[in-house]
């Protein structure tokens, strides 16, 4: 399987899930500005929608949309416990979190990445994110991970997105349970491997 990724973006989430699941992946870096893959290929030929991630299976089938790619990978390794079996209530709870991360957190950051976004809009977006982080902070007061006592696939996605705060001067220390959650996940050995592989932390720090 090949994962098309761009360091530190949402493609980090399926990358982490693959490592936590013990699944080998070939990583292909994508320059989002030019839509060129590091192997010289045209990324738009892989995913005509344009964004990372895209997962290309060994038979050439292409999966996109982070929350779906994450589920596909976790389902390849059911023994990893990263997602409960399909059809169970616990699975729907995990899907609720994946969807929440995708639509409220991941896309909630969207306007902040565009330099044309006016200051008034930035203030509204930051306030909305703060409300969502406050919600997460209340949830994480009750348990260490989104779905319970164990790290699971939605945590890989939430960790990835929450980590963007540092690029946008959003100090997670305002939400101590969220800050502790991010630190807890960052300390996991498979997560550190993914961060090193994407060049986000130094190997010596592993």
Ligand X SMILES: N[C@@H](CCC(=O)N[C@@H](CS)C(=O)NCC(=O)O)C(=O)O
Which residue, 10 or 21, has its beta carbon nearer to ligand X? 10
Rounded-to-integer distance, Cα 23 and Cα 15, Å: 10
Query: 128 or 163, CB closer to ligand X?
Result: 163
**CB-based contacts of 100: which residues, under 8 Å, 6+ apart?**
none
Q: Candidates 46-54, 132-140, 149-157, 180-188 — which segment interacts with ligand X by CB under 6 A? A: 46-54
Q: How far apart are CA 32 and CA 123, in angstroms?
A: 26
When asked if residue 80 is in the footprint of ligand X (CB under 6 A), the reply is no
The interface region with ligand X, picked from 47-55, 117-125, 130-138, 195-203 by CB under 6 A, is: 47-55
- Considering only 3, 10, 18, 156, the residue that binds ligand X (CB under 6 A) is 10
Q: Which uninterrupted H or E stretch holds 29?
A: strand 26-31
Contact between 50 and ligand X by CB under 6 A: the answer reads: yes
Of the ranges 45-53, 91-99, 121-129, 139-147, which one interacts with ligand X (CB under 6 A)? 45-53
How many of the chain's residues bind ligand X (CB under 6 A)?
A: 9
102-141 footprint of ligand X as x/- string (CB under 6 A): x---------------------------------------
* 65 binds ligand X per the rule CB under 6 A: yes
Measured from each CB, the residue nearest to ligand X is: 51
On the question of a cis peptide bond just before residue 53, with omega within 30 degrees of 0, the verdict is: yes
Cα end-to-end distance, the chain, whole Å: 25
- Binding of residue 176 to ligand X (CB under 6 A): no
Half-sphere exposure of 44 (CA within 13 A, CB side): 4
Q: What is the DSSP string of 135-178?
A: HHHHHTTT-SBTTBSS--HHHHHHHHHHGGGGGGT--GGGSHHH
| Identity of the residue, 25 or 66, whose beta carbon is nearer to ligand X in the bound complex | 66
* Residue 181: both structure tokens together: 């959650």
Is position 52 an interface residue for ligand X (rule: CB under 6 A)?
yes
Backbone angles phi, psi at 104, to 5 degrees: -95, -40
Q: Looking up tokens 């986000």, which residue turns up?
A: 200
Q: Is 74 in the site for ligand X (CB under 6 A)?
A: no
Q: Which residues bind ligand X (CB under 6 A)?
A: 9-10, 32, 50-52, 65-66, 102
């Amino acid at each position: 399987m090949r994962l098309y990724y761009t360091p530190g973006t949402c493609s980090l989430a399926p990358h982490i899930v693959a490592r936590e699941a013990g699944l080998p992946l070939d990583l292909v870096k994508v320059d989002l500005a030019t839509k060129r893959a590091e192997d010289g290929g045209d990324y738009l030929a892989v995913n005509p929608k344009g964004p990372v991630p895209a997962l290309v299976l060994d038979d050439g089938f292409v999966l996109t949309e982070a929350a779906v790619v994450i589920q596909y990978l976790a389902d390849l390794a059911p023994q990893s416990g990263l997602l409960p079996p399909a059809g169970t209530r616990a699975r729907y709870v995990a899907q609720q979190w994946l969807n929440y991360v995708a639509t409220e957190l991941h896309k909630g950051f969207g306007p902040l990445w565009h330099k044309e976004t006016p200051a008034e809009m930035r203030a509204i977006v930051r306030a909305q994110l703060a409300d969502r982080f406050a919600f997460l902070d209340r949830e994480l007061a009750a348990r260490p991970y989104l779905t319970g006592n164990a790290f699971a696939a939605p945590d890989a996605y939430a960790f990835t997105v929450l980590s963007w705060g540092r690029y946008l001067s959003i100090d997670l220390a305002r939400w101590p349970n969220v800050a502790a959650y991010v630190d807890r996940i960052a300390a996991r050995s498979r997560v550190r491997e993914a961060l090193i592989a994407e060049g986000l932390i130094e190997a010596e720090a592993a």
